[in-house]
Amino acid sequence: DTSKLTRIDDTTWQIDPTGDMRVPGIIFADEALIEAMDDKVAEQTANVARLPGIVQASYAMPDAHWGYGFPIGGVAAFDPDEGGVVSAGGVGFDVSCGVRSLLTGLTVADIRAVQERLADALAAQIPAGVGSRSGISLNRQEMDAMLVGGAAWAVEQGWGEPEDLERIEEMGRMAGADPDCVSEQAKKRQRREMGTLGSGNHYLEIQAVEKVFDAETAAAFGLVEGEVLVTIHCGSRGLGHQIGTEFLRDMLPAAAEAGIRLPERELACAPIHSPIGQRYLGAMRAAINCALANREILGHFAREVFDRFFPEHRLPLLYDVSHNTCKVETHTVGGRPRQLYVHRKGATRAFGPAHSELPEALRGEGQPVLIGGSMGTGSHVLVGMGTGGKGFYSACHGAGRAMSRHAALKRWHGRQVVDDLAERGILIRSPSARGVAEEAPGAYKDVDQVVEVAERAGLARRVARLTPLICVKG
């Protein structure tokens, strides 16, 4: 039902503010994507617009679909000086879930020559699936050091290289993390989960650069047609999930106490300047560090495997970026720069060239925006745009689901999906046939269409398209 949407231009749809909406809702999509989008996206985007202190607009990216409270693909910024809130549901359960890509300098032919053995070696080295373990176990002190130190901590422990850090958001270490705000239960769940992929749509994938859209940027990023990347998608595992669960629960009475009228329970939130708001931020930032450390360790495991097959090749990090966060950022709204709490849930930060948060080596081009598609179709690398800045410098984070896990499970058999992909030269290694069926390529939207719209909408520009060769799946 697109009747409540006003079309602003080719790729922008507005939900005009009605009732107690404080700002409009904006959905970035073309006609085909908006038609296919589930109705819940517009409804949830409008509901977020009713929260206190929201500024400018409540946004939904082109890959948006239904989420818990906030849509997946939702972006919203709140001003602490105007009663702004922080919301656990606006970050998501998998705090700081994100993507990193490593360059290999290897060609598709290099991989084809060892593809089966490499897939098996990666599957043996990368712990995947529910409750998977890596052999790393943290005591109390180590846990707290990890929660404060993030990827920088992992590098100190020997899992990763110092040069990686400048290619990770926040230089690999999120400031303001407070392990004392993280419950014992959350820490307990994480004790043996560092360096694991987890389940669902998390993956470690070997991908070929199939097509370059922007030769100059691709060259600066080190992306060469016919060469191969290692890409890792995962987050903060049990720790982040526990934090999300606990704070969603505790923010509900806190919202009532603060006199916030919630459009629905799932939008539980707390004023940024409240004790629970501050506790959530301390815990959420610790979970960001957990995710950054986790991806750093997984990258190290991948390097160990590649070192056995290709000892002469280093695997430098292209970039690591999260898509489930709340970050304090300065944005100009209403003609003045303001410090805002930007929630991105299933949305990727997409800073343009010259941004001070980017390392020297990327300032000329802008931030790499790493986008998953599916294990059978493709993925993309985009770049943040200087002239962009729409949706607080955000872009899509994937293709987005076209059907529910449940529907996918009815439609496909995991074994069959694996066999069909093997026919096409794509090797899947997963402990869960059920998981593979839920994640069948057909369960996702067309990623090419989504990123093309993201580009036309001015969110981020396409740099290269990637195709999968090996996918180790949770």
Residues tagged active-site: 397
Measured from the CB atom, the residue of 190 and 207 that comes closer to ligand 5GP is 207
The entry of Mn ion, ligand 5GP, none that residue 373 binds, CB within 5 to 8 Å by partner kind:
ligand 5GP
Using CA atoms, how far apart are residues 467 and 457, in angstroms rounded to an integer? 24
Decide if 182 contacts 243 (C-beta within 8 A). Answer: yes
Measured from the CB atom, the residue of 91 and 471 that comes closer to ligand 5GP is 471
Measured from the CB atom, the residue of 214 and 446 that comes closer to ligand 5GP is 446
The entry of ligand 5GP, Mn ion, none that residue 300 binds, CB within 5 to 8 Å by partner kind:
none
Record the tokens describing residue 82, joined without a space.
């105007």
Chain residue whose CB lies nearest ligand 5GP:
398
CB of 198 to Mn ion, least distance (A): 7
Residue 37: closest CA among 27, 50, 26, 47: 27
The entry of Mn ion, ligand 5GP, none that residue 473 binds, CB within 5 to 8 Å by partner kind:
ligand 5GP
Q: C-alpha distances in angstroms, 233 versus 29, 279, 311?
A: 24, 27, 25
- Long-range contacts from 108-113, C-beta under 8 angstroms, 24+ separation: 108/208, 108/226, 108/227, 108/228, 108/469, 110/228, 110/310, 111/206, 111/208, 111/228, 111/469, 111/470, 112/425, 112/469
The entry of ligand 5GP, Mn ion, none that residue 169 binds, CB within 5 to 8 Å by partner kind:
none
Determine the 3-state secondary structure of 324 from DSSP: strand
Chain residue whose CB lies nearest Mn ion:
97
Bridge partners, 340 (sequence order):
329
**Binding region for Mn ion (CB under 5 A):** 94, 97, 235
How many Cα atoms sit within 13 Å of 428 on the Cβ side?
29
Measured from the CB atom, the residue of 48 and 97 that comes closer to ligand 5GP is 97
Using CA atoms, how far apart are residues 24 and 122, in angstroms rounded to an integer? 47
CB of 419 to Mn ion, least distance (A): 27
Using CA atoms, how far apart are residues 243 and 96, in angstroms rounded to an integer? 12
Using CA atoms, how far apart are residues 249 and 268, in angstroms rounded to an integer? 8
The entry of Mn ion, ligand 5GP, none that residue 21 binds, CB within 5 to 8 Å by partner kind:
none
Other Cβ atoms less than 10 A from the Cβ of 22: the count is 16
CB of 404 to Mn ion, least distance (A): 17
The entry of Mn ion, ligand 5GP, none that residue 458 binds, CB within 5 to 8 Å by partner kind:
none
The separation between CA 472 and the C-alpha centre of its own chain, rounded to angstroms, equals: 18
The entry of ligand 5GP, Mn ion, none that residue 375 binds, CB within 5 to 8 Å by partner kind:
ligand 5GP
CB of 66 to ligand 5GP, least distance (A): 12
CB of 399 to Mn ion, least distance (A): 12
Measured from the CB atom, the residue of 170 and 439 that comes closer to ligand 5GP is 439
The separation between CA 208 and the C-alpha centre of its own chain, rounded to angstroms, equals: 21
Residue 100: closest CA among 181, 177, 1, 167: 167
Residue 249: closest CA among 272, 236, 230, 266: 266
- The strand order across the sheet containing 336-345 reads 5-9, 12-15, 25-28, 58-65, 72-78, 336-345, 324-333
CB of 177 to ligand 5GP, least distance (A): 22
Q: C-alpha distances in angstroms, 13 versus 34, 51, 72, 462?
A: 9, 20, 17, 22
Measured from the CB atom, the residue of 80 and 441 that comes closer to ligand 5GP is 441
Measured from the CB atom, the residue of 42 and 321 that comes closer to ligand 5GP is 321
CB of 279 to ligand 5GP, least distance (A): 25
CB of 370 to ligand 5GP, least distance (A): 10
The entry of Mn ion, ligand 5GP, none that residue 263 binds, CB within 5 to 8 Å by partner kind:
none
Using CA atoms, how far apart are residues 138 and 145, in angstroms rounded to an integer? 10
Measured from the CB atom, the residue of 172 and 398 that comes closer to ligand 5GP is 398
Q: Alpha-carbon torsion 407, 409, 411, 417, what sign? A: positive
The residues, any chain, with a CB within 8 Å of residue 253's CB and separated by 6 or more, are none
**Binding region for ligand 5GP (CB under 6 A):** 63, 72, 97, 201, 203, 205, 323, 346, 372-375, 379, 397-400, 439, 444, 447, 468, 471, 473
Bridge partners, 229 (sequence order):
103, 207
CB of 342 to ligand 5GP, least distance (A): 17
Measured from the CB atom, the residue of 50 and 380 that comes closer to ligand 5GP is 380
Record the tokens describing residue 63, joined without a space.
């890959």
